[in-house]
Amino acid sequence: MQATSAEPLARDTEHRSRADARHDLIFRLLLRCCALFVLATLLGAALSTLWGGRDVLLKDGFHFLTSSDWNPVEDQYGALAPIAGTLITSLIALVIAVPISFGIALFLTEIAPNWLRGPVSAAIELLAGIPSIIYGMWGLFVFVPFMANIEPTLNDTLGNIPVIGALFQGPPLGLGLLTAGIVLAVMILPFISSVMREVFQTVPARLKESSYALGSTTWEVVWDIVLPYTRSAVIGGIFLGLGRALGETMAVTFVLGNSYNLTSSLLMPGTSISSSIANEFNEAVGLHRSALIALGFLLFVVTFIVLLIARLMLRQLARREGR
């Protein structure tokens, strides 16, 4: 009697185990397909841009990367000016945005009173949600005239300093690499500061309180406790902002000036990969269209290199922390 009642229970248990194993396998396959879909999408986009730019790459080869000529009338194309403009404006944005973001995150986590943290955090999140075209319009109608008024002062002061003076010499146009870099800094600042604020809040309160109890100042607590504890996440947030700056289109197009001339001055107009594509793709045909698609592939490559550097830095930091 007991054996007879135990057999259905054993069959039910076996059936349930098989069903659980089948469901687990389906779940794993579904997750694997999601991950492969992302990789396939990225690879497909990269290969499609490479295929679309094959004409100019086969025609000019490596010269396409080293030339600054861009003349659609004579079908002469070079990617050096857009690449340089993209990297320079992104570097300017990082130099400005990272210290300010660090100060904002430090203020919100260590200094600001409770009644002020909410409004400031909400303002930062609001800045992150503003469309890029709004930043571009603000930059063109408000910030460009402001820069045109102060660029003569920059030319007369910083322009006379040896070595770096050439960076600040030029006519007061308002449009240029420096203006675009500052607008980009305003755009990526909320992303970097939000990441820093979140990771600073993960530091255990006991560590900071112990340091304060030993007589450390706020700066010493941040430098010796908070930053070492959150170093990897902070670097990840910085590279997240850099990736945002590298791919920005509309805001940069409004204020960069869209000139393919390479100069040493940050006050002169320039161009970037994304702004070149946005400005000319609608009217491009033939080799001109191929050159713009090739620029899109180069943007893929630049972004991939930046992310690879970030991964290598984080891995190196992880090894040092493991020691």
Instruction: Kindly report the three-state secondary structure assignment for every residue of 196-233.
Output: HHHHHCCCCHHHHHHHHHCCCCHHHHHHHHHHHHHHHH
- Residue 71 parent element (H or E): strand 70-71
Q: How far apart are CA 278 and CA 68, in angstroms?
A: 18
Burial (CB count within 10 angstroms: exposed 0-12, middle 13-18, buried 19+), residue 212: middle
Q: How far apart are CA 29 and CA 14, in angstroms?
A: 23
Of 90, 111, 104, 110, give the one whose Cα is nearest residue 194.
Answer: 104
Q: Return the sign of the alpha-carbon dihedral for residues 292, 297, 300, 302.
A: negative
Q: How far apart are CA 289 and CA 287, in angstroms?
A: 5
Which residues are paired to 70 by β-bridges? 77
Of 129, 95, 105, give the one whose Cα is nearest residue 233.
Answer: 105
Under a CB-based contact definition with an 8 Å cutoff, are residues 237 and 199 in contact? Answer: yes
Of 283, 272, 282, 267, give the one whose Cα is nearest residue 249.
Answer: 272
DSSP one-letter code for 257:
B
pLDDT tens digits for the chain (323 residues)? 445 556 666 677 777 777 778 888 898 999 999 989 988 998 888 899 899 888 998 888 888 888 888 888 888 898 899 999 999 999 999 999 999 999 898 888 888 888 888 888 888 888 888 888 899 999 999 999 999 999 889 888 888 888 888 888 888 888 889 999 999 999 999 989 988 888 888 888 888 888 888 888 888 888 888 888 888 888 888 888 888 888 888 889 899 988 888 888 899 999 999 899 988 888 888 899 999 999 999 998 888 888 888 788 778 777 776 55
Cα 321 versus chain centre, distance: 26
Which residues are paired to 76 by β-bridges? 71
Structural domains of the chain, ranges and CATH numbers in brackets: 59-322 (1.10.3720.10)
What pLDDT was estimated at residue 1? 46
Count of other CB atoms within 10 angstroms of residue 318: 11
* Residues 78-117: tens digit of each pLDDT: 889 999 999 999 999 999 999 999 989 888 888 888 888 8
Indicate the pTM of the whole model.
0.85
